[in-house]
Structure 1
Amino acid sequence: MALNKYMHPRNKYKNNPPDFATLAKKYPDFAQYVTYNKSETRGFINFKDPEAMRCLTCTLLKEDFGLEVEIPNDRLIPTLPLRLNYIHWIEDLLQGMGEGTKGAGDSGKVTGIDIGAGACCIYPLLGCTLNGWNFLATEVDPTSYTYAVNNVSRNSKQDNITVKHVQRDEGLLKVLDEDESYFDFCMCNPPFYANDMEAQGLLPDRGPERPLPSSISTASEAERVASGGEVGHVGRIIEESLQLQKKIGFYTSMLGKKSSLKPLKEMLKKNGIENFACTEFCQGRTMRWGIVWTFYQNCTLPTSPLQKKKSKPPIKTVVPEKYLQHLMKDAAQTGGMQNTRVQLVSSAIKQMLGELQVPFQECAPASPDLGISLTLTPTENTWIHNRKRRRQKSREGKEGQKPAEQPLMLQFDTVEQKEPMAEHPTPNMDEEKMEHDGSHVGEGGMSVKGEDGDSKKMDTSDGAANGGTSPGKRGASEVLGSEELLFKACLSISMIDTGIIMEMAWLEGKDKDGMNQLVCYLKSQFNKV
């Protein structure tokens, strides 16, 4: 039950798991699958027994929601707590929709689309029962379609839920071709796998740290396999949404693999869809992921519970006394002794950043003598192979060739002169590893700007300590306007009792390794004198 604490806060099973012993006393059909501890006060079921799982879902739907359903033996058995997480997430999304998002002629009744309702028709039945929503539910499989229609009729929900049989190649465009209605949302639990070998576990699709499934799957081929797997399935919904646009308030899907998030987010960005977000659905030892996007810019997409990152302390480095003496000696020779030790170190670090072409912006300090803070916004890793470039430049000099003049950070108008650098690969995280940094949540959308919303210039000169800037230097918002941000970090230099300390604190981005490498590079420069 390690992940239950991350269940949606309104999920009724979060702090109140089903009592199998009590249910067994009330429902004889369920009792046959329950075993007990020695005192017979606590019941257990075998989650790898499909009959027990089927009976559990039917029993919980009847006990907690007053719903009676029939699920065939060879079709997917929905786990109720996980489905509730999705429904509650949809509720949160609806709360963030602005007043101007409803389509013309909308009746005010929330209406959603369930793509692939399944035999149980679980999402429409839960959404209708809990919130009074209307649904258009589509289903490809003839057997699942028949069961879904019967389950809707069995619970007298025909006026709220319409189940439509569609062909496998029919998407939203075909389904909504002659329907002028506005839909508040669409939802989908797509087939996770691209082929039978992957579905049967014959291809590696989980990391070594990820445990084997604790429950059984009875899903049919249509429920397990789709062309391109879940990325291909959701990708087709993204493509159709480009044409449907605001006919649907927001588009959502559940995902079975964390690795599917990255290509789908890249697809959204590539197609200019800026307002999107991701979340997690947790139950027991199972985690699933959710993705949402919308063409409405006036709605706020909620963040997930796992977005709240554990604050990690900044990386601290004490500037060596030998390096300080070196700077002071140079300052004495150049007439710069009026600068404080903090200002000397700050000027040296700014010079290093300029040589590396790392854009930065200086925050106005309370006291430049005691501390200076820089916000770094690099768009490429120029420090990992810096030694190799210096050796090449030295060889060219020895051969009598005039080395090509490298543009400093003040010359960003000649970006095409920069030497392309190999990006440092970011290691993949295991799909269910719990050390989330929140990078996959709440993304998309807004370009990052300075505090006043404008592009700010930056400076490497000592005068910047007083808030001055130099022409030609790019601020963070200018950088992000044309290039993808590697990371955003705060570098500070301050005075302590034992000397000068440099701190690097992560703010956001995608390459934490790159930030750590930059710290190592700066430390190596301190130790060279």
Structure 2
Amino acid sequence: MTILAHHYNIKYWDLPKGYLCPPIPGRADYIHQVADLLADNNSGSENKKPHVLDIGTGASLIYPIVGSQSYGWYFTATDIDPVSINTAKAICEINPNLKKLVTVKQQKNPKNIFKGIIGEHDYFDITVCNPPFHGSMQEVLDANNRKQSKLQKNRARRNPNGQANKFADAKNNLNFGGQNAELWTEGGEFAFISRMINESVDYAQQVNWFTTLVSRAENLKPLDALLRRVGARQIKTINMQHGQKASRILAWRFK
């Protein structure tokens, strides 16, 4: 909250228990990278503020907060979860600087991404998305247990005389927040982004740039092949690094 208050003039921000609290610097980097993408490609007119579509905004509303307050962009923020939607709306209502720039809209059909959100006369300069990473809740739990085990070993090495077992109970508890839709989707990240790519074809003339985070580098090659098959005219991969965590932005357009 301190970062949001200091850098983005946010007076109120709170999350329901168990919902994902995002690492703000990494999310801000995504917004700054897509700002460069828009600037490099002269998106929109000089007198028109970009309109951004955030797919899966979550209860945190983090991309609209960073983008609207850093660049004055307009945002439409979407999610399938009603609690996330109500929380995001509350954040906008209580922060007047967001209320003027951010619209929150629920995706009623979890099988759709753009359909039901992009209206017939809508136009977006760019879309952003942090897709669910895992393919099942079991994958989430397995990944968490591996991380907890690694943390235990690191602590034991740093404190060989301590009681490493006191951390054992944590293995069965997630060390991060997040609802099912925030953490996993059937088929994982690749399936979600593939669905996004296929659906983007229907909105090729209503969106200048489609973008999404890609956590797994091995997904880039097949996603690039899919984009070429559906007729994307430009495809870009933007690499990002935050400490030991590497990720990348996949961007495409049909114009």
TM more than 0.5: yes
Amino acid at match of 1:219: G
Equivalent residues in 2 for 1:348-427 (5 A)?
none
Distance change (3 Å), C-alpha of 1:273 and 1:203? farther
- In structure 2, the partner of 1:112 is 52
CA contact (8 A) 1:198 1:204 kept: no
Counterparts of 2:48 and 2:142 in 1: how far apart (Å)?
46
Q: Does structure 1 residue 285 correspond to structure 2 residue 244?
A: yes
* Matched position secondary structure for 1:129: helix
Contact 1:76 1:219 in 2 (8 A): yes
Is 2:8–2:65's contact at 8 Å kept on the other side of the alignment? no
- CA drift at 1:69: 0.9
Partner of 1:87: 31
- 1:236 is aligned to 195
Structure 2 counterpart of 1:175: 117
Instruction: Give the C-alpha shift of residue 267 in structure 1.
Output: 0.9
1:87 aligned counterpart, secondary structure: helix
Instruction: Show the counterpart of 2:126.
Output: 185
Map 1:56-455 onto structure 2 (within 5 A): 58-67=1-10, 68-98=12-42, 102=44, 108-156=48-96, 157-167=98-108, 168-176=110-118, 178-201=119-142, 216-296=175-255
Tell me, in whole angstroms, the C-alpha distance in 2 between the residues paired with 1:264 and 1:62.
38
Residues in 2 aligned to 1:263 and 1:84: alpha-carbon distance in whole angstroms: 27
- Identical amino acids, percent of aligned pairs: 28
> Deviation of residue 203 (structure 1)?
10
Q: What is the distance in 2 between the residues matched to 1:202 and 1:125?
A: 30
Matching residue's letter, 1:71:
L
Preserved CA contact (<8 Å) 1:102 1:182: no
Greater RCO (Cα-Cα under 8 Å, separation 6 or more): 2
How big is the alpha-carbon RMSD for the aligned residues of Structure 1 and Structure 2?
2.5
**Worse overlay, 232-241 or 281-290:** 281-290
Alpha-carbon spacing, 1:295–1:205, altered in 2? closer, same or farther (3 Å):
farther
What letter is aligned with 2:204?
A: Q
Q: Structure 1 residue 202: deviation in Å? A: 5.9
- CA offset at residue 80 of structure 1? 0.8
The TM-score with structure 2 as length reference comes to 0.82
Spell out the pairing of 1:423-502 with structure 2 (5 A cutoff): none
TM score, norm. by length of structure 1: 0.41
Q: Do 2:77 and 2:103's aligned partners in 1 also have CA atoms closer than 8 Å?
A: yes
Report SS of the residue matched to 2:35: helix
Distance 2:95 2:25 in 1: 20
The 1-side partners of 2:24 and 2:235 are apart by 26
3-state DSSP of counterpart to 1:260: helix
- Structure 2, unaligned runs of 5 or more: 155-173
How far residue 102 of structure 1 moved from its aligned partner, in angstroms, is: 4.2
Deviations 1:318-348 (A, max 9, x none): xxxxxxxxxxxxxxxxxxxxxxxxxxxxxxx
> In the alignment, is the contact (CA less than 8 A) between 1:119 and 1:145 conserved in 2?
yes
Aligned residue type for 2:113 = G
